[in-house]
Amino acid sequence: MRGHVQAALLAMLLLPSPLESQTTAPRPTGASVFPVREAVDVSRFKVTNRAASFLDLPARRAALKTANTPLLLDEIASAKFGMSCRDAMALPIPEPGFTVPGFYVDRAGWRDAVQVFIGFEKTVSNLANAQLVAEDDYHAQCLVDLLSKWAQAKALENFGYSPDEPQAWYTVESALFAAAFALSMVRDQLPDRQGDLAEIDAWMVRLARGHSAISGLPSTACCNNHFYRRGLYAAIIGIMAEDDALFQYGARAYLTALDLASADGWLKLEMMRGRRAAHYQNFATLYLVFLAELLESQGYDAYAMRGTHGARMGDIAGRAIDAIITPEVVLAHGGSGEQITPMERDPQFLVWLEPYAHRVDDPRIDDLLKERRPLYNRGLGGSLTLLFMPN
What's the half-sphere exposure (Cβ side, CA atoms, 13 Å) at 347?
16
Please tell me the distance from the alpha carbon of residue 293 to that of residue 339, in angstroms, as a whole number.
29
pLDDT 10s digits, 308-322: 999 999 999 999 999
pLDDT 10s digits, 319-358: 999 999 999 999 999 888 789 999 888 999 999 999 999 9
Please tell me the distance from the alpha carbon of residue 120 to that of residue 113, in angstroms, as a whole number.
13
pLDDT score of 125? 98
Q: Is the pLDDT of residue 47 over 80?
A: yes
H or E segment to which residue 265 belongs: none
Percent of the chain with pLDDT over 70: 94
Contact 303/254 with Cβ under 8 angstroms? Answer: no
Average pLDDT over residues 183-212: 97
Please tell me the distance from the alpha carbon of residue 221 to that of residue 227, in angstroms, as a whole number.
6
Residues with Cβ within 8 Å of residue 136, at least 6 apart in sequence: none
pLDDT score of 13? 42
Phi, psi values for residue 89, rounded to 5°: -70, -15
Task: Answer yes or no: pTM beyond 0.85.
Answer: yes
Q: Is the pLDDT of residue 36 over 90?
A: yes
Contact 223/37 with Cβ under 8 angstroms? Answer: yes
Average pLDDT over residues 13-17: 40
pLDDT 10s digits, 90-114: 999 999 999 999 998 999 999 999 9
H or E segment to which residue 276 belongs: none
pLDDT 10s digits, 253-292: 999 999 999 999 999 999 999 999 999 999 999 999 999 9
Quickly state the pLDDT bin for 45 (edges 50, 70, 90).
Answer: very high
Q: Helices (DSSP H) in the chain: which residue ranges?
A: 4-13, 30-39, 57-65, 70-81, 85-89, 107-113, 115-133, 138-152, 167-186, 194-212, 225-241, 244-260, 268-271, 277-297, 313-325, 342-345, 353-356, 363-372, 384-388
pLDDT 10s digits, 161-195: 999 999 999 999 999 999 999 999 999 999 999 99
Give CA separation, 283 vs 9, 160, 165, 193, in Å: 25, 25, 21, 36
Contact 313/334 with Cβ under 8 angstroms? Answer: no
Q: Domain 33-388: which CATH class? A: mainly alpha
Contact 212/177 with Cβ under 8 angstroms? Answer: no
pLDDT score of 2? 43
Give CA separation, 33 vs 54, 215, 222, in Å: 29, 12, 8
Q: Is the pLDDT of residue 84 over 70?
A: yes
pLDDT score of 82? 86
Phi, psi values for residue 383, rounded to 5°: -85, 100
Q: Is the pLDDT of residue 69 over 60?
A: yes
Under DSSP, the state recorded for 376 is E
pLDDT score of 7? 41
CA-atom Rg of the chain in angstroms: 20
pLDDT score of 22? 33
> Which residue from 217, 222, 224 is spatially nearest to 276, judged by alpha carbons?
224
Q: Is the pLDDT of residue 361 over 50?
A: yes
pLDDT score of 14? 42
**Average per-residue pLDDT for the chain:** 92
Quickly state the pLDDT bin for 25 (edges 50, 70, 90).
Answer: low
Quickly state the pLDDT bin for 391 (edges 50, 70, 90).
Answer: confident
pLDDT 10s digits, 223-241: 999 999 999 999 999 999 9
H or E segment to which residue 103 belongs: none
pLDDT score of 44? 98
